[in-house]
Structure 1
Amino acid sequence: MSEDALVRVVREEWGRLVALLLARYRRLDLVEDALGDAVEAAARAWPADGVPANPAGWLNTAASRRVLDRLRAEAMQQRRAPLLVTEVERRSGGTAVMVDPGGLVEDDVLRLVLMCTHPALGAEAAAALALRLVLGVSTHDVARLFLVPEPTMAARITRAKKKIVSAGIPLAVPGADALPERLDAVAQIAYLAFTAGYAPGSGSDLLRADLAGEAVRLVRVVLDERPGEPVLVALLALMLLQHSRRDARVGADGDLVLLGEQDHTLWHHDEIEEGLALLRSLGDAHVLGATAAGYLLQARIAAEHVIVGNAAQTRWHRIVDHYDALLRLAPSPAAELARAVALAEAAGPDAGLAALDRIQLPGSHRLAAVRAELLVRTGRLDEARVAYGEAIARCRNEAELEHLRRRRAGLAEDESTATCP
């Protein structure tokens, strides 16, 4: 139970703990290491001593002690008196807060995300840093979102951290005049965090509802600051329509439940209604900016699924049309793969397989997994078995891995049944 409690508090409180420690000490290089040390200490102490009444407070205290230890050591090395409080603490009478010139943001997680979107950092570096540092997405999953090898992404994140420290990028929330310029970046970070929660690339869970939910909450917080902003409205609609099915997507045995087999009573219909209402408020995609239009088209695809809720009745040709529009607007291998799946439903598995031949997703298991499923539908079981093997070799998510193994094992059972007299 102590291990579960630690995993839960790290998932739910990591961003807030980082924000609190950064506000106090202003040392990004020390804070993350100290918090990591605190988590390791908790992993040793909690099984023996029990889970503390305030787990997040325990981690905060342990990390603070480690930061102070490092500050003392640095002070001694520099032959000056130890500084046990930061300059900002002295100026504020011991209560440190991040600079907020416009007084417009109170949410700790949003503060850190906005800090990561500083213009001195590139858009991709900012998003990667926010996902890893603020939202606790693993480096492997961040790399998967950007379609690059894990070592490459690790190096990018490290460079971004060093740039914040060496360039003296202030840990500050921009004023009201700068916030609109960062909305697209914040929206992309929330979108990627939601994707990492909706379909984790590693770990033991088929979905991380807590991470997806935090992404939804983040968009709501920003939308409170910028009411009616089309990018945020479209993104929130997309998230709600997808997130509404979270309780039905995983069965009692932990296996994936496909859309057509889900129990609709487990869907969050209030979120579906809210998402559909947001869609209706936006109008046509062509009158929106490119980013908002992209989220709108994805939301329309999600709406097609929840409105009907039955794969046999789903208007797959409309979904293919939406993907075609999305690919014209923002081409991506992930959208091409999703279009191939929809095309297979609309025009048959052979059409889907032909579409897959044009897609490249280096390192991802999903392309091979989709190909295997479509090969099964065409009766090409030997080829399907090879494709499943490729997907299994690349998959890092334990729950998905078990699902793929069961699907491949089922091919042997199907063949033996077919040959019985």
Structure 2
Amino acid sequence: MSDTSNTVAFVRTETIPQMPPPAAETGAIKWMRENLFASIPNAILTLVSAYVIYSILAGVLPWIFNGVWNAQTLAECREILDGTSGACFAVLTERWPQLVFGLSYPASEYWRPSLAFVLLFFAAAPVMFFDLPRKMLIITLFYPFITYWLLWGGTVLIPILAFAGFVAGYLVYQRFVAGSFAAGFFGGVIAAMIVWYIGGFLIPDGANQNAMLRPVASRDMGGFMLNMMLGVTCVSLSIPIGIVLALGRQSSMPLIKWICVVFIEFIRGVPLITLLFVASVMLAYFFPPESSVDLFLRVVIMITMFSAAYIAEVIRGGLAALPKGQYEAADSLGLDYAQAMRLIILPQALKISIPGIVNIAVGLFKDTTLVSVISMFDIVGMIRGPILSSTDWNGVYWELLGFAALLFFVTCYGISQYSQWLERRLATDHR
């Protein structure tokens, strides 16, 4: 029998250095194995997709990189290319003022819409980002009136009168909203219209002749500027109108409820292009005979009505998603209808409705190109009309339409990214 009394177990005094993981478990190799080649079907789809992408890029990239930027006509572009594949981007450098500002907007006044576009970011920032100082809302308040004066020019008395009407309407709304939300809202609208009607007689007839800014008619506006004007204006107006329609559809007053129901269902059942033809041909008959309502205003009215009906349904879905206890909690706190909606119900409903509202806003912005069918020369109307009809550039399609698509993609993608950021900020998936 062996003696084991002197046997001592060995204990290591230092740890073994940590070994690096296998190469297949780190970096790009791991990502590709897990995402692109996780299984045989995934590997086949990855290879097929890579081949399709390569085939597309092999044809598109040489066409882009061989593009001609300096030429006066399409024929000159083809002479420079000399039979090689390449784009004729010279049409963009030659006609970019028409694509952006339209055909007839005065070239010496391009600074005005450019300044209005820059101010748009300062006006939208305090509304879109909560961390900014609330004092910046003063820019948002005055922006619509400043922009109107910059774009249309003429006498400054018109935007001042418009601002005075809104102030009067707000004061009347604040006075009567405590008793009834409907009374405050409609009272404010009536007060604003009275101020505008009376103020119209106070503006002298020749006020535009001595104006600081040169007057520009709506028919002289076009290009992508017109799309931006219609998109920003109609989205800004349709959201509050959609909220009112959604609340009206849930109202306990039968008359208010059925007016909102009929309006929403009728507008949603009619194509937008039909409403645009109505705005172009028939809407003027609904105004006084002596009034000449601008086509831009008529189009804004119809597009706003169209988008407001869809936004109303999205917000109604957000209202229906709230539990009944939220309404009961507002009642238990002794809040009236306006206070309950402003402080408890609408903040939660709008938070839920963000994806739907943004979806409608993006679709509305793209639908502004339909105004080209009623002879409004937006960017698509400029391409289909004056540019392609000219002998110098007849036959240039991909370059012009690709440029228009790029502008719309950048704008819509920016809206989409802001929507996703706002959803993460408000945590709409955790109520």
TM-score range for the pair, normalised by the shorter chain length: under 0.3
- Relative contact order (C-alpha < 8 Å, sep 6+): which is higher? 2
Tell which structure's C-alpha radius of gyration is larger.
Answer: 2
TM-score using structure 1 length: 0.26
